[in-house]
Structure 1
Amino acid sequence: MDLKPTEITCSKMFGGYNRRYRHYSPTLGCSMTFYIYFPPSPLPSHKFPVLYWLSGLTCSDENFIIKAGAQRTASSEGVALIAPDTSPRGLNVEGESDSWDFGVGAGFYLNATQEKWKNWRMYDYVVKELPKLLSENFQQLDTSRASIFGHSMGGHGALTIYLKNLDKYKSVSAFSPIANPVNCPWGQKAFTNYLGSNKADWEEYDATHLISKFHDLSATILIDQGEDDEFLHGQLLPHKFEEACRAVNAPLLLRLQPGYNHSYFFIASFMDDHIRHHSQALRLP
């Protein structure tokens, strides 16, 4: 059981490097992989701020690195990209791979409370274990300067993690987030299985409910949503989040993008805006 990350692949890109690592996660009880994109360094002693990306259902740590087109702007802005996996893998829990929207590849960035799914603690992995691992093993990363974003299930994760940890992240953004999971089939299925039947426990992982607790957000929340997204009205519900933000005067920029769907083609089209949104926040004192 190697707790220290071991590099398993490396590819140069825009002067920096995509590096993939494997390590044993005590939080999840299994081996995990994650990617880091290191921008080109101006000086050996230079430290980069970090931007965490959380991927959606069925994805791994590879989708974003391969498909999102984020490295060009991350390179020019001097921001390191961190892409973890979406769930524990290899535990062989009964039923973990029975459906694409629950179990493996569908961790929902929460801490499960039901005994069967006790290893599904992606919230603690992303918020606690991974930053500590990065800080202790990569001197070139400044984990005290961090922001977070994601897509779909990962957009849900980014929004909820940010709202519950305003002291840890400078900014947040999302593509097509599951913005009100307590009211959509994906969220209801996941929350029932991971958290049980108590709806109050569900609301602790619902951005639309969490936003009502905050009245002093300084950074604008950026959300891009494709108008031709097949999941827009049944699963994502960004307008519920927009209404909740308006009620507490929380700064939100929700951009509805005509003609775009739920895919990485959409994500890649607006990725540069999101990287710059975070880069600006990460440069602030």
Structure 2
Amino acid sequence: MDSKPTEVSSSKMFGGFNKRYKHFSPTLGCSMNFTIYFPPSSSPSHKFPVLYWLSGLTCTDENFIIKSGAQRVASSEGIALIAPDTSPRGLNVEGESESWDFGVGAGFYLNAKQEKWKNWRMYDYVVKELPLLLSENFPQLDTSRASISGHSMGGHGALTIYLKNLDKYKSVSAFAPIVNPMNCPWGQKAFTNYLGENKSDWEEYDATCLISKFHDLSATILIDQGEADSFLHNQLLPNKFEEACRKVGAPLLLRVQPGYDHSYYFIASFIDDHIRHHAQALQL
């Protein structure tokens, strides 16, 4: 199958276009979809900076594009939105669809070490394969000016990827991220299965552990967390990350939003602030 992306659908929105693409991923060994929102352009030679959005458990590349309303401000700020899928699909690995929080739709943005899950390499897909694919096939994108954001599992992905690749991303933000997966049920289940029992391998994908290594940040980390989020106290643990940031003096703006839950209603309510947060870093 061709690894060059082919357009699957196109819808105009706020003067720009949501375009969905399919391609074969050598990293993951399967066909993958991703969606790009291209803002309106006044000149064919204009290049847009990019904001990667990593979605949460059970999501595809479409959830953010359909539900967040991010395109309105992305359009006015001139930022392209890139939404990849959350895991490999169609590989038919035994057990990949047995639970909603592991396997298909639950890639956790890591490179699996266990042989059975060897195709689960979403870290390399997001950090290496996808940016290269974009730069080779979409001349209107300036992939050298990139930021990253995400929700829940995708917030975990955005934070860990950013912290390990400070040279590749100008800024990071997250909604209700899983910031300390080593110490929550979702993370422990995923890490045990994908990475094995070695806890030092787990630390490589835990934002609360990583911040102590990579805390020399040029941009403030923005996190929004709903106070009425049912996962707040047992899965998300933002206070752990806040404490780790305070210890090393890493710049963090953690906003706890009263009454908001874990859903896209919450994301849509504050997405404009996040797009502008990234626009500021990307325009520098």
Which residue identity does 2:132 align to in structure 1? Answer: K
Alignment size in residue pairs:
284
* Off by >2 Å, runs of 4+ in structure 1: none
Matched, 1:147 2:164: no
Inter-partner Cα distance in structure 1 for 2:210 and 2:34: 28
Match of 1:63 in 2: 63
Report if the CA contact (8 A) 1:22-1:33 is conserved.
Answer: yes
RMSD (Å) for aligned C-alpha atoms = 0.4
Inter-partner Cα distance in structure 2 for 1:215 and 1:134: 29
Provide structure 1 residue ranges, at least 5 long, that are not aligned to the other structure.
Answer: none
Which residue identity does 2:67 align to in structure 1? Answer: K
Match of 1:237 in 2: 237
Which residue identity does 1:171 align to in structure 2? Answer: S
Inter-partner Cα distance in structure 1 for 2:238 and 2:120: 26
Match of 1:135 in 2: 135
Match of 1:25 in 2: 25
- Cα displacement (A) at 1:61: 0.3
Match of 1:210 in 2: 210
Map of 1:1-285 to 2, 5 A cutoff? 1-284=1-284
Inter-partner Cα distance in structure 1 for 2:179 and 2:200: 17
- Cα displacement (A) at 1:60: 0.2
Q: Indicate the SS of the match to 1:57.
A: coil
Which residue identity does 1:84 align to in structure 2? Answer: P
Inter-partner Cα distance in structure 2 for 1:114 and 1:196: 6
Inter-partner Cα distance in structure 1 for 2:42 and 2:121: 37
- Cα displacement (A) at 1:215: 3.6
- Cα displacement (A) at 1:214: 2.4
Report if the CA contact (8 A) 1:214-1:248 is conserved.
Answer: no
Identical residues among aligned pairs (%): 86
Q: Give the TM-score normalised by the residue count of structure 2.
A: 1.00
Report if the CA contact (8 A) 2:102-2:189 is conserved.
Answer: yes
Inter-partner Cα distance in structure 2 for 1:215 and 1:268: 29
1:66-109 deviation digits (Å, cap 9, x = unpaired): 00010000000000000000000000000000000000000000
Provide structure 2 residue ranges, at least 5 long, that are not aligned to the other structure.
Answer: none
- Name the stretch that deviates more: 208-217 or 188-197: 208-217
Inter-partner Cα distance in structure 1 for 2:187 and 2:214: 22
1:122-167 deviation digits (Å, cap 9, x = unpaired): 0000000000000000000000000000000000000000000000
Q: Indicate the SS of the match to 1:110.
A: coil
Inter-partner Cα distance in structure 2 for 1:276 and 1:17: 20
Which residue identity does 1:61 align to in structure 2? Answer: D
Q: Indicate the SS of the match to 1:155.
A: helix
Which residue identity does 1:132 align to in structure 2? Answer: L
